[in-house]
Structure 1
Amino acid sequence: MKKLCFTLLALSMPFLSIAGEAKITWKDFNDYHDVHPANEAKRSYHKRVTKHFEKHISKLAEQLPEGYKLNVTFDDIDLAGDSRMGMQEIRVIKRIYFPKLTISYALQDKSGVTVSSAEKLVLKDMSFMDRINKELDKSFIYEKQLLSDWFADQVLIKTNA
């Protein structure tokens, strides 16, 4: 059975098209509203944020048609929760500390024509704690959900128009 599945996958490969691609631009992390590490060195935390957000947006861009390019700039980031200093710095997640991302983006089709764009678009979810989330053990789940919702509502829909 495994051999059959492998063969079918291999046969279908030539018909798969290359998905769209994404380019992410970052501003100075020190200028963002709240990207404060809880119990981690600032530099490594910022690298971790970068890695997680870039990986997530790249995964979303795979849904775009072949040749499409998505350029995203993070103008401001306010992560869910709030950093608190005590004996140890921690990030406290409460309803009043909802995630908020400010982005600028441009979606280009395969001929380079801008299909959709926005400057300083504010993405926020004031009811982020009301959602059922199976991935509570993963990093930046609330911010990734914001990006996924934006992508589905404002980017992906433009490729089907």
Structure 2
Amino acid sequence: MNTLKKITLAMIFVLPAFTYAGEAKIKWHDFDDYRDVRPGNNSTKGSFHKSVANNLEKHFSKLAEKLPEGYTLNVEVTDLDLAGDVRFGSMNELRIIKPIYFPRIDLNYSVTDKSGKVLSEANDVKLKDMGFMDRMKMGRDEAYYYDKRLITDWFEDELLPSLNLGE
């Protein structure tokens, strides 16, 4: 049997035993009530809000995949202040990223197992990264990079350890 077939078989039969497949469910409030989710670059407010929601939901879902199968991360975003601030440029509004405009996210969350038992929860979690520009930016440029990094740091440094998954 050639090496490629062996690797493929290992991936099909061995890796599923070690995979995680949690899911995320995100609840949003009215974007107009959030601290700063204003569009720049001539985006319409509705399409910008949809873009923010889609990008952050995908990110939460990607992180939730690190949870065991059957676990659900439920997040309610109660306030959102994206990194940067929208300022008037020459003819249009631009989101300017400066250290004083750090990302902030307020949320409530719970993690449940497949039976619905709450394993971890908290209300009024306030995330912020006042030194967001002082750290190296890793990877490619992507939409809402600093906001996603804030969520990732919280997930890996606070949420996962609270679950005591034995890793």
Gaps of 5+ in 1: none
2:126 is aligned, of 109, 119, 122, to 122
Write the mapping of 1:9-158 to structure 2, written as runs, cut at 5 A: 9-17=11-19, 19-39=21-41, 40-86=43-89, 87-135=91-139, 137-158=141-162
Percent sequence identity is 50
Matched positions, count: 161
Decide whether the 8 Å contact of 1:64 with 1:159 is kept in 2.
no
Write the deviation string for residues 101-147 of structure 1: whole angstroms up to 9, x where unpaired.
01111111233221211112110000000110123521111111111
Q: CA deviation at 1:52?
A: 0.6
Q: CA deviation at 1:16?
A: 4.5
Q: RMSD of the TM alignment (CA)?
A: 1.7
Gaps of 5+ in 2: none
Paired residue type of 1:24: I
Q: CA deviation at 1:91?
A: 0.6
Secondary structure of residue in 2 paired with 1:115: strand
Q: Return 74-83 or 147-156, whichever deviates more.
A: 147-156
